């Protein structure tokens, strides 16, 4: 390589790499030192911080690919292959369709790969297979772990424990004060009280929670209170203590859906626990703090509309009214956009994923995995010089990858945050598949699982996700 060999550098970290010594600074130092030793010109370094390697929808990567087509670049250099991608398909697509098709070589320092050589091109494909294998195994392991916890009776909501319980050391423990309120809600409903009446009673007696008709309804339908847990639509016997007897729960379900109960209501009372509009009870005024109500085709701040004196917080509030159809459409489309935006999902869920304090023996595990990486590099070197047959290379690499996965499994990972993120993603999948087929009540339930509240400030709409 001559002195004018021009290269771009690319570095990336994600939450997965909290288990590895691949910080942004360390990767940059390695790239800089390598280029200096080779006499290459490191034109620019592109950095994606906090982005998964499971897809190519990363801002710095996309910018580098654009710049690469305009600049006179000889190669792209990374510290390690999985910094580019953990997906076999994406790795090969980037190398073949983006780099090589534009006469740009690809170099990975850690694996000693250089696509300007036939061996380098062959080994890129081989190692990308194992990167994909490792990613698939980790995903499968987490899924199996959650299913196993469900079968064992453990709650999957993590820190978002249902009202009436505290989440302690991975288990649900009855909160006596909250459980008393749940019991009272069931008793009141059985005696014939409506959702709105129960809500009013609960608000008057208990100040620790702002009870709503939706919250009351959700409590009456939650099978967690009879000792059940659910994962991926399948119910299991929970390890936690029940608050409501199965007999009482069954009676409540019968009342909730009985034709007699529906027939004796007025039209306005058909479902007092159900909001008349998609976003009823979700919307708040950012200016005065009051709720928004739905009337005459618009969502309106209670303080401005003055439709209910008890909900007015600032009689001078002039916050904007929103057309019901327009705001419903905006929120639904925002959820749909989130479903297709893996970057945004990653940003939201990464806030609750485990950090370094959630693991034990981090230094020992890091040291061993670094050793495994070096062994992998040595194996590749042996293959390149022709002293190691492909079948032996494959078996040894598989063994090392399996050991690395076992090290990950031995981490004492606190699963609370993982489960919360997984449940949020599962709900997004349910929304994408079934939302249009649901009735209004079911749609509101689904939105309540994803969204904590919606705040209006003039023409600005802020959605607070339930994470």
Residues catalogued as catalytic: 14
Q: Which of 243, 209, 221, 231 is nearest to 155 (CA)?
A: 231
- How many other CB atoms sit within 10 Å of the CB of residue 20? 16
* C-beta of residue 235 within 8 angstroms of C-beta of residue 223: yes
What is the dihedral sign for C-alpha 390, 395, 399, 405? Answer: positive
- In sequence order, the 6+-apart residues with CB closer than 8 A to the CB of 57 are 342, 343
Distance CA 1, CA 21 (A): 30
Residue 234 backbone dihedrals phi, psi, to 5 degrees: -105, 135
Residue 419 backbone dihedrals phi, psi, to 5 degrees: -65, -40
- In sequence order, the 6+-apart residues with CB closer than 8 A to the CB of 89 are 132
CA of 16: how far to CAs of 21, 147, 348, 425, in Å?
11, 21, 15, 18
Q: Which of 222, 252, 231, 228 is nearest to 240 (CA)?
A: 228
Distance CA 45, CA 35 (A): 12
Tokens of 433: 């598949």
322-323 and 451-457: which strand pairing?
A: unpaired
Tokens of 301: 């701040």
Distance CA 12, CA 17 (A): 9
CA of 247: how far to CAs of 118, 135, 226, 251, in Å?
72, 46, 9, 6
Distance CA 301, CA 303 (A): 5
Radius of gyration in angstroms for the set of CA atoms belonging to the chain, rounded to a whole number: 28
Sequence-ordered alpha helix ranges (H) in 42-175? 59-70, 81-84, 88-93, 118-151
* C-beta of residue 99 within 8 angstroms of C-beta of residue 105: yes
- How many other CB atoms sit within 10 Å of the CB of residue 400? 18
Distance CA 180, CA 206 (A): 11
């Amino acid at each position: 390589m001559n002195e004018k060999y021009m290269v771009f550098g690319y570095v990336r970290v994600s939450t997965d790499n909290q288990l590895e010594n691949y910080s942004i600074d360390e990767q940059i130092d390695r790239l800089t030192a390598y280029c200096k030793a080779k006499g290459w010109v490191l034109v620019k370094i592109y950095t994606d911080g906090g982005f998964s390697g499971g897809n190519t929808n990363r801002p710095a990567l996309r910018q580098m690919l654009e710049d690469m087509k305009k600049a006179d670049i000889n190669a792209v250099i990374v510290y390690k292959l999985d910094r580019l991608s953990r997906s076999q398909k994406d790795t090969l697509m980037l190398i073949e369709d983006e780099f090589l098709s534009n006469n740009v070589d690809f170099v990975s320092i850690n694996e000693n790969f250089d696509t300007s050589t036939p061996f380098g091109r062959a080994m890129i494909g081989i190692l990308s297979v194992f990167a994909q294998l490792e990613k698939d195994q980790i995903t499968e392991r987490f899924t199996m772990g959650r299913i196993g916890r469900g079968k064992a009776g453990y709650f999957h909501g993590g820190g978002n424990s249902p009202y009436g319980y505290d989440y302690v050391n991975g288990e649900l423990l009855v909160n006596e004060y909250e459980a008393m309120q749940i019991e009272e809600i069931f008793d009141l409903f059985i005696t014939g009280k409506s959702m709105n009446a129960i809500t009013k009673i609960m608000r008057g007696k208990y100040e620790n929670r702002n009870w709503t008709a939706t919250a009351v309804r959700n409590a009456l339908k939650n099978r967690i209170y009879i000792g059940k847990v659910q994962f991926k639509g399948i119910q299991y016997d929970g390890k936690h203590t029940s608050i409501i007897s199965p007999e009482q729960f069954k009676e409540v379900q019968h009342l909730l859906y009985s034709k007699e109960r529906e027939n004796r209501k007025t039209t306005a009372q058909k479902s007092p626990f159900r909001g008349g509009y998609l976003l009823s009870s979700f919307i708040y005024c950012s200016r005065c703090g009051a709720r928004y109500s739905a009337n005459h085709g618009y969502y309106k701040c209670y303080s401005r509309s003055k439709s209910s004196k008890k909900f007015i917080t600032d009689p001078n509030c002039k916050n904007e009214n929103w057309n019901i159809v327009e705001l419903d459409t905006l929120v639904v489309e925002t959820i749909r956009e989130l479903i297709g935006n893996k970057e945004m999902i990653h940003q939201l869920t990464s806030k609750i994923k485990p950090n370094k304090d959630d693991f034990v023996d981090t230094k020992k595990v890091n040291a061993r995995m670094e050793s495994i990486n070096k062994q992998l590099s040595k194996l590749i070197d042996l293959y390149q010089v022709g002293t190691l047959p492909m079948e032996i290379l494959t078996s040894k690499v598989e063994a090392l990858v399996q050991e690395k996965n076992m090290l990950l499994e031995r981490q004492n990972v606190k699963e609370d945050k993982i489960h919360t993120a997984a449940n949020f993603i599962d709900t997004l999948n349910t929304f994408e598949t079934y939302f249009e087929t649901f009735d209004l009540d079911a749609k509101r339930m689904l939105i309540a699982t994803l969204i904590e509240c919606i705040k209006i400030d003039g023409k600005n709409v802020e959605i607070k996700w339930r994470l």
